[in-house]
Structure 1
Amino acid sequence: MHFLILGATGRVGSRVLEQALADHHRVTALVRSPQKINHSSEQLTLLQGDACHHQDIHRSLGGVDTVISCLGTDGGTVLTEATPLLIAAMKSHGVSRIVTIGTAGILQSKEHTGLLRYETPDTRRSSTRAAEEHRKAWELLQASGLAWTIVCPTYLPDGEALGTYRVARDFLPDDGKSISVGDTADFTYRVACADEYIGHRVGIAY
C-alpha cells in the first residue's frame, strides 16, 4: 500500500510513519521540515511543503492509495485551511480513503443528547477553539463523499503502545480518561490498513 502521511513529524504522525515503513509500505510524507524526519528508507519519499498549499498537496498524492492526516490545529486554522484543499486534491487524483486524527471533544455526548462533548455544560475545556477547528474539518469530510474515519483520542500523554485499549463508534468509551500516543498511532495505522470504521468518528481510551 502507498500512504500519504501529513503531520509525520508530530507525536502521533512520526509513530505512524515508523509502523508503515516497518511493514514495508510505500510512504510519501509531506513535511515543512524534512530534517525532522529521522527515518531513511527506499520506501520513503520526503516532500518539503505545506499542507495548506494547493500545489504541495497535489504533488504529494501521485500513486497514493490512502491518506493518513495527523495534522493538529497548530494554534491556528491549519485544519480548516488544509482539509478542503486535501478533499479536492484527493478527488482529482481518485483517492477515496482518508484517516485523520481528531479530538474526543467532537464525539457525541452520552449525557446530553444532541450535543458534542465539547459543547456540554460540564466540559472542562478552558477554550473550545481547537475542538471547533476539528468539528469544521469533520463536517467537511462528512460532506465530501470520501471514505473517511476520524480517530478521536481523549487526553493524550506520551507513551508506548500497550495494544490494549477500548474504542467506540462516535462516542468515547465509558469512563475513558486517557490513551497514549503509541496506542493512538497503532490504532490509526491499523484502521488505515484495514478500511475499518468508514464514515465514523472513533473514540479511543483505556
Structure 2
Amino acid sequence: MSDREEHLVGEFPLIPKQERAQLKRDLLLKSGHELFVTNGYEHTTAKEIAAHAGVATGTFYRYFSDKRQLLMSLLENQIEMLMPPEPIWGVSDPESTLASLLESHDKRLKAMGMQRLVPELLAKDSGFAEVLAAGKRKIFTRILSGLKMAYDNDLTWKDLDLNTVTWSMMTLAEHAPEKMKQCGNQTDYHQVAKVICRLIFPPEVIEKLQTDETVTEEEY
C-alpha cells in the first residue's frame, strides 16, 4: 500500500489481535460492503452498518473512526482494480487480446460491487479522487510508453498524437461498462477493442499481426 493510500485509511482506533475481535471487525467490513453497494455511501450510516452486523454502534467505533475509514479499508488493496486495464501492444491479434483484458476487468469490477460508489466518492472525497487520479497517471504513462515502442516499430499510425490516442483509449476502456445504460444494449468488448485498435493500428498492421498469430498456431 502506498503512502497516499495509508493516508486515505488513517490510523485505526484499535487493531484486533484476538480471533473473536477480528471476526467482529470482518463482519463490520462485510456489512459495510453490502450496505454501501445496496444503498450508496451517503445513505449508509455507521449505526446501520453496526445493526446489519448484529453488533452495537459502540463496537463499530472500536474498530473504525467513521464509515469513511471502513470504506477505505475495503478499497485500500483494490484501488488498482478500479483502473482501466493496461494492454500490451505488438502482440498477435491485438483486438482479441484487448477484448479479453476488458472482459476480465469488467468481471473484477462486478465481483467488487463497488464501482457504483466511485462517482459518488470522486465528487465528495478529494483524497480518494487524488489517489485515483495518481493511479491513472501511472497507467497513462505506461500505456503511452508501450505505444511509443509500437510507433518506433512502425506498427501505429504516424499522423496521430500518441498522448491523445492514449487518453482516448483509457476513456473508452474506463467507460465501456456504461454502454448498457446509454445505448440500451450489452457492452460487446470485442467491438470496443476493435474501435481502440483502429485508433492505434492501420488495417494492414492488424491483419499482419492476426496472420502472424495464425501462422504461429499452425506451426505448433
TM-score scaled by structure 1? 0.29
Kindly indicate whether structure 1 or structure 2 has the higher relative contact order, using CA contacts under 8 Å at least 6 residues apart: 2
Please state which structure has a larger fraction of its residues in helix: 2
Between structure 1 and structure 2, the one with the greater Rg is: 2
Q: TM-score, normalised by structure 2?
A: 0.28
